[in-house]
Structure 1
Amino acid sequence: MTLPVMVNGFGITSLSNRSSLVQALMGTAAAATDRVLVIIYLNGGNDGLNTVIPLQYYSKYQSIRSNIAIPQAKVLTLSGMAEAGLHPSMIGMREMYNQGRLAIVNSVSYPNPNQSHHRSSDIWMTATDANQYSNSGWAGRYLNNRFPGYPQNYPNDTMKDPLALQIGVLNSTSLLGPQSPMNISVENINNFYALLNGGQGMSSNDLPCCDAGEMIKHVRQQQVLSTGYSGQIKKAYDTGTTMATYPTAGTTTELSEQLKIVAKLIHGGLQTKIYFVELGGFDTHGDQVTASDTTIGTHATLLRRLSEAVSAFQNDLVLQGTADRVVGMTFSDFGRRANSNASRGTDHGVAAPMFVFGTGIKRQMVGVVPDLNNDLEPPTSTTTNPNQEVKMQVDFRRVYSDILRDWFGAESSVTDSLLFRNFKTTSLFSNTIETTASGAWLDRSIWSAGRPPGAGDYVRVNPGHVVAVGQNITVRNIQVEGGGELNILGNYTINTTG
């Protein structure tokens, strides 16, 4: 058994030995209702067009990826959403959507995207621009701001539990703080606890000098920190229960088992703020589907595992009365090309959907499904079957900003600092759709949710924004802030239902 730690942002392992600091920590300082984020990394670059199928443009969809397209009759339709459906393997997440517990954020990426796995995943995890670099992750910076001074003097009376937990053997860059990882990594709870409570430690006098000594000192510090938390983790795991039926997992690396561990820790009273789990295998250059049936194959298996695991986890939260405390999100390295390749697969692309789930979401569709007729990026090659890219609608950092500000309650100024600048809301956690710029009412780009408001929406026109109305509109309520303006272009009416 190995103990995962981080040195200069790279995952390494070091055997943990007996320590005089072993202690059984009891109790919690954080409120039981404190909110939790679960991050699910879809490693490899998920094919968005075969995950959320653009039914509105099905003819074009079928023509540009005929050897992998999901038959229209097999697509899982969504309640009240004719423009899109889900892959037939995603029955559980379709049910979550229909229950109002799943949001689809369409065409998510970042400007000037990079199609290298390593670099693009680093951009997503650090929340930088494509031409910038950071040695800390977006979630790690948030935890560092919320719990200053970590890891010195932690655990303490204010926070006796790990700030973040990754279920796996290597730490994610997302959880790196400015000075050190903000998380503990655990693959098997019982082995982790046993490892940290046995063996003989190395004397501090045995440390070599200079950089090597400093590196080992840092590893030692992470081991001591893990030892301090081991009692709390083991206690929560043993105390926690699961009430939902999870898919049978062959190994602890499978997503269902990872989320089952997270559920047990949450329900065992652990006050950890962020959990990070992973499902790999999404780099589907070939054999994404079988030759005889495009609804089965590698991608279908991955989406089934995702859907079954997430829906079981969400059901567990509901059954145990903790659903209002927990929100989850998915992300991947990048999307994949709109057109398929000759190997029944897809190559590295740009934008793809994110999923955000939980009872705390206020809307279920941000942006619109990609317009495959008019809204693909220019070809990136001059071949007879040129690559076509799904154009970005939503910068992923807008979702991060909403999570930090609207879910965790960080001040707007703090959120802007953590993400290096301001990002407009997507209204994921708000009943109100607001303007982000001036323009025509039907111009989806001026609205926070990436689509014009509907009859059930509260609407706010922000200061300095002028919205031109050239048709009758119906919304629940509309508020025009000082300096904002609705410019009615004819004999049209504004109906409010709220």
Structure 2
Amino acid sequence: MKRRSFIQSVPVVVGGVTVNAYGSSPMLSAMTSALYETDRVLVIVQLSGGNDGLNTLIPLDQYATLSLKTVRENVVVQESKVLPLAGTGGKTGLNPGLTGFQKLWDEGRMSIIQSVGYPKFSYSHFRATDIWMTGADSNEVLNSGISGRYLAYEYPNYPVGFPNSTMPDPLAIRIGGNVGLGLQNNGVNMGISINNTKDLLNLTGSVFKDPANTATYIGKELAYIREVQRQTDKFGDAVELAASKGKNLSTLYPKAAANGAPAELGQALGNALSIVAKLISGGLKTRVYWVSTGGFDTHATQVNAADHSQGAHTNLLKGVGDAIYAFMDDVKLLGLGDRVAGLTFSEFGRRIVSNASGGTDHGAAQPMFVFGAKVNPGILGVNPTIDPASTANSNLPMQYDFRSVYGSILQDWFCVPDTDIDSVMLKNFQKLKIMQDGNCIPTSVHDHNAAAGENLVYAYPNPFVDRTKIKFESKGGHTMVQIIDNQGTVIDTLVDTYLAPGKYDISCDLEMVPTGIYYVRLQNEQIQQVKSMLKVRG
């Protein structure tokens, strides 16, 4: 068996729990998903490290205060070098590295949201990243990401019966790195991770020539590996086919190192985004793509001491701006511009006052940039007011909760109805006009697809230790609720009777089964829904 680096993650995740791969039995294959067809794509660009928002989106009307020696004189970009944003009356500009963003702004393909954050922010890279990925409050821990919950909402039976003829492709793709918490839902990866579209996983060889003896521990492990490989290979085939059919038309992507010349700024990010464009143009039906670039933890030497318009931070932003502009140029040339939207985020912003090392320390609020042909161009919010008496502990106050940004995009881009958005975001948040009106198809199409987005069955609590409750809704008629393991074996039938329309709950005792991922399956006349549930150690 020869493994290479094409697929890095598959729909089953191991997080301190031993999980058997789900089987491909006829019973499992029959659990096909209910899908809500749309051709829209969201690209998430993660800026790892904590981006300095005040040197990214620069409030020129606060420049006199920013340039004070006691504020950020040693890092603030010279006013004459700031890129002006047309229509702001000279009050707001961009870092000189963001010429790509300035072009998107001038073309009406950029929406900017000022001072985005959340209450009681965290200064920890790890905790803050988890909060931004999951939509959790600062005092709670969630086991599912916002994007993961959205994908589970649209494809409630996933991963059972996937890939299938209706959805043969990954729901989400992370390019580089692990899938990550943002694309997980209660222990299940809702997507895959790839490095590129050329170095394919070789799953052939003697490992498949003899049947695994599942009566032994080693045999069970071998069966698990084989099933994961089969599932991975199916998604790999779809990605490979899309890559072979797709293409890139833009010549603007940052160039790789060649003939002794170094790689251009943003080359790695541009390469990842070029893969996204190629896969979309090749017909892949994947909803969410996730790419990332690092280096934003600029505690020291953030700028060139002799010229603050140059240096480490400007170089990072130039790479981001050039890569994203090339990607947007590509999808436009490919005729895909109306289908693609994207956003940037970092785990936190940075403090108002710079430090003595020519850098900035972990902070709170930050600007977010949403790009695409269907955004509402402009700025949401106002320039932050910078207090001349700011101290080393001073942070930008939040104007918008980041969950309002995500929720609004899910509603107006992926057309999640008002009645359902709280089940994805877990709370009610302010609706923002980030996307243009008229993008959504009627919800009746969604309803037609076997109640794909209705939350008809779920376990609570989830994850659980030994016992949980199964809450479900019957539309009336014959109703069956079953618990199924990852091999497709029915381990308990909780309900098998005729019920009146209504909502019900029933206790579920799984004390005697191993930890891992299980599924609760609801069958009600023509409606079928499967949800994952995670048993963990106490």
Give the TM-score, by structure 2 length: 0.71
Aligned to 1:76: 83
Distance 1:419 1:366 in 2: 21
For 1:321, the equivalent position in structure 2 comes to 335
**How many residues end up aligned between the 2 structures?**
408
Alignment of 1:65 with 2:79, yes or no, is no
Residue deviations 1:61-91 (CA, integer Å, cap 9, x gap): 1111111110000000011012210000111
Match of 1:301 in 2: 315
In the aligned structure 1, how far is the partner of 2:335 from the partner of 2:203? 33
Aligned 1:348-359 pairs, distance under 5 A: 348-359=362-373
Query: In 1, distance between residues paired with 2:151 and 2:326?
Result: 28
8 Å Cα contact 2:115/2:367 also seen in 1: yes
Q: CA deviation at 1:188?
A: 1.9
How does 1:6-85 map onto structure 2 within 5 Å? 7-9=13-15, 34-63=39-68, 64-81=71-88, 82-85=90-93
Look up the SS of the partner of 1:104 in the other structure.
strand
Match of 1:333 in 2: 347
Q: 1:265 to 1:291 in 2, by over 3 A?
A: same
> Cα distance 1:220–1:94, how it changes in 2: closer, same or farther (>3 A)?
farther
Could you tell me which runs of 5 or more consecutive residues in structure 2 were left unpaired when the two chains were aligned.
Answer: 19-23, 25-33, 258-262, 439-538
SS of 1:140's equivalent in the other structure is: helix
Alpha-carbon separation, structure 1, partners of 2:319 and 2:206:
38
Q: Is the alpha carbon distance of 1:415 and 1:304 closer, same or farther for their aligned partners in structure 2, counting shifts above 3 Å?
A: same
- C-alpha contact 2:36 2:154 (8 A) present in aligned 1: no
State the match for 1:257 in structure 2: 271
Match of 1:274 among 280, 285, 288: 288
Q: What is the alpha-carbon distance in structure 2 between the residues aligned to residue 187 and residue 353 of structure 1?
A: 29
Q: Is the 8 A contact 2:13 2:187 kept in 1?
A: no
Shift in Å, 1:430: 4.2
1:187 to 184, 195, 202: 195
Distance 1:91 1:391, change over 3 A: same
2:430 aligned with 1:424, yes or no? yes
Residues 247 and 282 in structure 2, CA contact (< 8 A), matched pair in contact too: yes
- Give the unaligned 5+ runs of structure 1: 13-18, 20-28, 380-384, 433-498
Paired with 2:231 and 2:420, the residues of 1 have a C-alpha distance of 27
Structure 1 pair 334–213 and aligned structure 2 pair: CA distance change class (3 A) = farther
Which of 147, 151, 172 is 1:164 aligned to?
172
The CA distance in 2 between the partners of 1:95 and 1:52, in whole Å, is 15
Matched, 1:403 2:404: no
- Report the Cα distance in structure 2 between the residues aligned to 1:207 and 1:136, rounded to whole angstroms: 34
SS of 1:53's equivalent in the other structure is strand
Secondary structure of the structure 2 residue equivalent to 1:371? coil
User: Match for residue 90 of structure 1?
Assistant: 98
The offset of 1:288, in angstroms, is 0.9
Residue in structure 2 matched with residue 388 of structure 1 by the alignment: 394
Q: What residue identity is the alignment partner of 2:297?
A: D
Post-superposition offset of 1:7 = 3.2
1:284 partnered with 2:292: no
Larger mean CA deviation between 363-372 and 41-50 belongs to 363-372
- Is the Cα contact below 8 Å between 2:277 and 2:330 reproduced in 1? yes
Counting only pairs closer than 5 Å after superposition, residues 396-475 of structure 1 correspond to structure 2 as 396-430=402-436
Is this contact kept in 2: 1:168–1:185, CA < 8 A?
A: yes
Take 2:216 and 2:76, find their aligned partners in 1: how far apart are those partners?
59
Secondary structure, counterpart of 1:389 in structure 2:
coil
Is residue 144–residue 178 contact of structure 1 (8 Å, CA) maintained in 2? no
Q: Deviations over 1:131-182 (max 9, x none)?
A: 1111111101111111122111111111011110110131121100224101
The amino acid of 1:258's aligned partner reads: A
Aligned AA (2:402): F
**Cα separation, 1, equivalents of 2:17 and 2:78:** 42
Cα distance in 1 for residues equivalent to 2:348 and 2:225: 32
Paired residue type of 2:77: I
> What are the superposed Cα offsets for residues 11-49 of structure 1, whole Å, 9 maximum, x if unpaired?
99xxxxxx9xxxxxxxxx989961000000000100000
* Secondary structure at 1:45 match in 2: coil
Q: Cα distance, 1:282 vs. partner?
A: 0.6
Give the Cα–Cα distance (whole angstroms) in 2 for the partners of residues 219 and 114 of structure 1. Answer: 39
Task: After TM superposition, give the deviation of residue 232 of structure 1 in Å.
Answer: 1.2
**Where does residue 115 of structure 1 map in the other structure?**
123
Aligned residue number for residue 148 of structure 2: 140
Letter in 2 for 1:400: Y
State the distance in 1 between where 2:363 and 2:175 align: 28
**How far apart are 1:249 and its partner, in Å?**
3.4
Deviations 1:346-383 (A, max 9, x none): 00000000110001112321111211138x9xx7xxxx
Contact 1:9 1:176 in 2 (8 A): no
Which residue is equivalent to 1:4? 8
Paired residues of 1:57 and 1:373 also in contact (CA < 8 A): no
Q: Which has the higher contact order (CA 8 A, sep 6+)?
A: 2
Q: Deviations over 1:222-279 (max 9, x none)?
A: 4332211111111111111111121113589810000000000001111100000001
Q: Which amino acid aligns with 1:254?
A: A
Could you tell me the percent identity over the aligned residues?
42
